[in-house]
Amino acid sequence: MSDTEAVNSLAKPSHAVAQALQAGAPVVALESTIITHGMPFPQNLETAHRVEAEVRGQGATPATIAVIDGELCIGLADHALEQLAQTDDVMKLSRADLAFAMSQRRTGSTTVAATMMAAKLAGIGVFATGGIGGVHKGAEESFDISADLEEFSRSDVIVVCAGAKAILDLEKTLEVLETNGVPVIGYGCDELPAFWSRESGLSAPLRLDSVQEIADHAAMRTAMGVGGGTIVANPVPQQAELPREEVDTYIAKALGEAKTKGVTGKDVTPFLLQRIFELSEERSLETNIALVLNNANLAAQIAVAICSRDSATVEAARL
């Protein structure tokens, strides 16, 4: 058995995902930390179902990824999704913890970094999430930089997100991505979206306006042998956005509280999201749900465009 086969056999696709992958049909990976640590129950479960339906509606197969009793599941059964959504003591798995959870037969949700690793193992090239992790404000003191950023240098996956969360230092986040050679593409926008708001005051380094162009860009990277991931930054729909100035006041308050309470490490992002949810009287959650659905829709369209481009190439080679 080759190394690749040995690695691939660790990813356990559901029946639907295995069938789609075998047929070369479009598949979209979905993360699960947003379910366990990003949203409260029952909205987390409802959103997870709606996100999957959104992907199906565009003609792709959803693959929600998590580790259940040590098994790296690529596509979750309804009962597993329900259990994950209601347990509050599951591990939050990033690159550092994925093998630990698997070898110790633990259960955990996957962050953007771990979901990218899992998608790559399973042979899935497109992934939808809410917002990626990045460089935290005050990182020059705390050194808090999400492992999500480093993962983009390693795993060849297109990640559709609504930019990076405004709780982060977006300028430094862009700098790290640039250093790591990660394309950050504004989808139909010149400005980098800031998760809850469409605007960040920062330019998106690159811009594309159609899924066809994103598929062409992906094919060019593959042909050139450029490894690593791509970020497609998709602004939250206008009717669902929260004004930037309003979010900024919640963020300032939440950051102050995190500091006073001594919140560190993996707990920082979930703490800030939860406090912003409370301070905005739950409006941040509605925005979060709207943007995740919007990203799932776009990711599915991209997966479909990549598949039809691939089959057109195969067809042309035959003639």
Span near ligand PSU by CB under 6 A; candidates 46-54, 95-103, 143-151, 204-212: 143-151
Binding status of residue 31 toward ligand PSU by CB under 6 A: yes
The two tokens of residue 296 are 């799932």
Q: Which stretch binds ligand PSU (CB under 6 A): 10-18, 58-66, 146-154, 309-317?
A: 146-154
Closest listed residue to residue 96, CA positions, set 72, 84, 113, 116: 113
Judge whether 171 counts as a catalytic residue: no
- Under 8 Å between Cβ of 61 and 26: yes
Query: Contacts with ligand PSU: how many residues (CB under 6 A)?
Result: 19
198 sits in the region (left: phi over 0; alpha: psi -120 to 50; else beta) called: alpha
Nearest distance from C-beta of residue 168 to ligand PSU, angstroms: 8
Q: Are 158 and 152 in contact (CB under 8 A)?
A: no
129 binds, among Mn ion, ligand PSU, none (CB under 5 to 8 A by kind): ligand PSU
Pair 128, 28: CB distance under 8 Å: yes
Which range of residues in 50-58, 124-132, 237-245, 311-319 is near ligand PSU by CB under 6 A?
Answer: 124-132
Check binding of 52 to Mn ion (CB under 5 A). no
Whether the CB-CB separation of 167 and 254 falls below 8 Å is answered with yes
| Tokens found for residue 186 | 């504004």
From 31, 52, 151, 191, the catalytic residue = 31
Determine if residue 265 is left, alpha or beta; phi over 0 gives left, psi from -120 to 50 gives alpha, anything else beta.
left
Active-site residue, 261 included: no
Q: Which helix (H) or strand (E) holds 315?
A: helix 283-318
Q: Among residues 69, 75, 140, which one has the least CA distance to residue 108?
A: 69
Q: Which stretch binds ligand PSU (CB under 6 A): 33-41, 45-53, 221-229, 278-286?
A: 33-41
- From the candidates 92, 120, 165, 266, give the one annotated as an active-site residue: 165
Q: Binding partner of residue 107 among Mn ion, ligand PSU, none, CB under 5 to 8 Å per kind?
A: none
**Does residue 144 bind Mn ion (CB under 5 A)?**
yes
Chain residues in the site for Mn ion (CB under 5 A):
144
**Catalytic residue list:** 31, 165
Chain residues in the site for ligand PSU (CB under 6 A):
31, 33-34, 37-38, 94, 111-112, 129-131, 133, 146-148, 266, 269, 273, 288
